[in-house]
Amino acid sequence: MRAAPIPEALLDPNRDPGGSREAVGLGSSAGKGLDVRHGTILTLEDINVSFDGFKALTNLTLYIGVGELRCIIGPNGAGKTTMMDVITGKTRPTSGSAFFGETLDLTRLSEVEIAQAGIGRKFQKPTVFEALSVFENLELALKTDKSVWASLRARLSGAQKDRIDEVLHTIRLDGSRHRPAGLLSHGQKQFLEIGMLLVQEPQLLLLDEPVAGMTDAETEFTAELFKSLARKHSLMVVEHDMGFVGTIADHVTVLHQGSVLAEGSLEQVQSNERVIEVYLGR
Amino acid sequence: MNQPMTITLAQKAGPRLSLAVGGLVLAILLALPLLHLLPADSALHVSAYTLTLVGKILCYAIVALALDLVWGYAGLLSLGHGLFFALGGYAMGMYLMRQSAGDGLPAFMSFLAWNELPWYWYGTSSFLWAMCLVVLVPGLLALVFGYFAFRSRIKGVYFSIITQALTFAGMLLFFRNETGFGGNNGFTNFRTILGFDITAQGTRAVLFLCTVALLTGSLYLGFRLARSKFGRVLTALRDAENRLMFCGYDPRGYKLFIWVLSAVLCGLAGALYVPQVGIINPSEMSPTNSIEAAVWVALGGRGTLIGPLLGAGLVNGMKSWFTVAFPEYWLFALGALFIVVTLYLPKGVIGLLRKEKEQ
């Protein structure tokens, strides 16, 4: 595979990543075709979502930089999952703008188009194709032509098989490749779903509570995995487990009642008066 | 060392056994029409009644297979597949009516004092055009219906109810004399097909062989689809449609393809059913018929290809025996059968067979 050409602007050592925006553009390998001139891969501005009068998101503004690993924390009902729904096209905002790169308007694309454009999502509850084997799960997720005609005639190439094998190894499921995914343990399903995201080769990964229900060892391994993914991909991780957030995050955003309460490193956020108030009760 | 050996042997015996049984069944099916051609006093002679009965069941088996493709694989339970079956049958029936009417109008039209054919009857005296209609009418209806249903993301029980309403509406429409399809009597009194006497032994044998060929062809197509990536996408669609969409697949195209294919197979089965049974009327579109087809699939084992064939064979075999022996009790027996399968055989008869083999 040919590496994407690196835009010259990104190579400038004095470059201010994201301009006046708060995104931290660490990486340099955004995929082909995506315009990331300003170092932001995801731009959410003044997003409002309301369900029957209940305001799930209020003037939410958030930027994710290219190659960044961003953690989103916040109490229950803060709007974390709704925000992911907006990004993936599942929920349409009542107002506000959402852009992937500089030009792709997420509020106008369908869920499928957004997925094809390069945003992958892991659900809160692990969702895999239970009747299919682990290998077949990865085969379906693999980045390729996903039209009906292509599927009717699809054959895996050697390179594609190698790619699946590689990911199977990464997520430590080599031994279970032919097991039906429905028989995997909870933690294994989580890993399989992460593996499916990997073979899909998205540029932005949205991960909703990826370590929920994992053992300590699995959590530790996931942290390693995510750290190795950052820079090559951009990651947005919603997580409750503060220990986990502390190990992986370079940048944390706290959501509360549908908007951003605080942003910064974990220590900064944890010492923020308002965050303490929200988490410990007033 | 010994154990893996036996395991591989057992695994190899599985498909071989299935292939042997399948080959045997196919051989019997191919022999039946030939035995029918024997003189009537021969001990091996197969009566026209038996041949027609088996031919009819084979047509139902094709419907079961077609329904299983959409229900068992893609998770779309259609309770209106009888409509596609009947439409294929009516298209064939139009041709047969024209054959028996010669240059005049079909009998029921003269009875209604009509002077000329309605526009949609034009060309139906040609066998080729009738065959086109057999494919096009169910196919286009399924395409239009499916396009709107899948675009609006109608699924689950809502989808089933709408398909049932569709076949019910079709039945009401065809019951009307003004629709031009013979009203509640439908089409009957066929005489010839392609110039051959429709009740002749040779014609019956050929029709039977065509049915066997269509069934085998559908089965082969089903196998190819189930083994392809397309088949795996359908399974994924059934189990986790959202996940599939976030993988970048558009479910609409996949659903529409299998839905239309299934409708066309039903239409073809209907077209072979009519000349063998000798009648087509709107009761074929009644919702109960379509529900019965779902029972065949559930009983045989959905999501497998052989299961629905077994189910269609078993239920219809029992039906023809029961309706002769204890006519009043058939529906009770069918109900009881369905309850037993739901409670004790969630994977159908085929699930039972597989379990036996594993033990």
Q: Using one digit for the tens of pLDDT, what is the confidence trace for B252-285?
A: 999 999 999 999 999 999 999 999 999 999 999 9
CB contact under 8 A, A140 and B247: yes
Would residue A135 count as lying in a domain?
Answer: yes
**Is residue A83 domain-shared with residue A196, that is, in the same domain?**
no
Count of C-beta atoms within a 10 Å radius of residue B269: 28
Q: Which amino acid is at B197?
A: D
pLDDT at site A159: 93
Burial (CB count within 10 angstroms: exposed 0-12, middle 13-18, buried 19+), residue B328: exposed
User: Tell me, what CATH number does A90's domain have?
Assistant: 3.40.50.300
Residues whose CB falls within 8 Å of the CB of residue B122, separated by 6 or more in sequence, listed in order: none
pLDDT at B11 over 60: no
The mean per-residue pLDDT over the stretch A99-123 comes to 91
Domain span including residue A258: 34-118+202-281
Residues of A in contact with B228 (CB under 8 A): 151-154
Confidence band, pLDDT 50/70/90 cuts, at residue B349: confident
**Is residue A114 domain-shared with residue A250, that is, in the same domain?**
yes
CB of A154 within 8 Å of a chain B CB? The answer is yes
Burial (CB count within 10 angstroms: exposed 0-12, middle 13-18, buried 19+), residue B179: middle
Would residue A141 count as lying in a domain?
Answer: yes
**Is residue A247 domain-shared with residue A183, that is, in the same domain?**
no
Q: Which of residues 16-35 of A touch B (CB under 8 A)?
A: none
> Rounded distance, CA B260 to CA B256, Å?
6
**Is residue A209 domain-shared with residue A171, that is, in the same domain?**
no
What is the number of domains present in chain A? 2
Say if residues A63 and A44 touch (Cβ distance below 8 Å): yes
> Rounded distance, CA B102 to CA A175, Å?
70
CB contact under 8 A, A154 and B240: no
The mean per-residue pLDDT over the stretch B330-343 comes to 86
CB of B283 within 8 Å of a chain A CB? The answer is no
Say if residues B326 and B334 touch (Cβ distance below 8 Å): no
Q: Which tens digits make up the pLDDT trace of B305-322?
A: 999 999 999 999 999 998
Residue entry with tokens 């073979």: A199
pTM over 0.90: no
CB of A183 within 8 Å of a chain B CB? The answer is no
The mean per-residue pLDDT over the stretch A42-57 comes to 90
CB contact under 8 A, A111 and B245: yes
pLDDT at A282 over 80: no
Would residue A95 count as lying in a domain?
Answer: yes
**Is residue A113 domain-shared with residue A210, that is, in the same domain?**
yes
CB contact under 8 A, A115 and B246: yes
> Rounded distance, CA B269 to CA B262, Å?
11
Q: Last residue of a domain, which of A201, A229, A260?
A: A201
**Is residue A44 domain-shared with residue A76, that is, in the same domain?**
yes
Give the residues across from A230 on adjacent strands.
Answer: A233
Q: Which tens digits make up the pLDDT trace of A140-177?
A: 999 999 999 999 998 899 999 999 999 999 999 999 99
**Is residue A224 domain-shared with residue A112, that is, in the same domain?**
yes
CB of B147 within 8 Å of a chain A CB? The answer is no
Say if residues B225 and B307 touch (Cβ distance below 8 Å): no
Would residue A276 count as lying in a domain?
Answer: yes
Report the mean per-residue pLDDT for chain B.
91
Q: Last residue of a domain, which of A143, A166, A201?
A: A201
**Is residue A62 domain-shared with residue A184, that is, in the same domain?**
no
Residues of A in contact with B254 (CB under 8 A): 148, 151
DSSP classification of residue B195: T
Q: Which amino acid is at A131?
A: A
**Is residue A227 domain-shared with residue A184, that is, in the same domain?**
no
Residues of B in contact with A153 (CB under 8 A): 228
Residues of B in contact with A112 (CB under 8 A): 245, 248-250
Would residue A21 count as lying in a domain?
Answer: no
Burial (CB count within 10 angstroms: exposed 0-12, middle 13-18, buried 19+), residue B125: middle
DSSP classification of residue B73: I
CB of B152 within 8 Å of a chain A CB? The answer is no
As a whole number of Å, the end-to-end CA separation of chain B is: 21
Q: Last residue of a domain, which of A201, A224, A245?
A: A201
**Is residue A275 domain-shared with residue A211, that is, in the same domain?**
yes
**Is residue A67 domain-shared with residue A141, that is, in the same domain?**
no
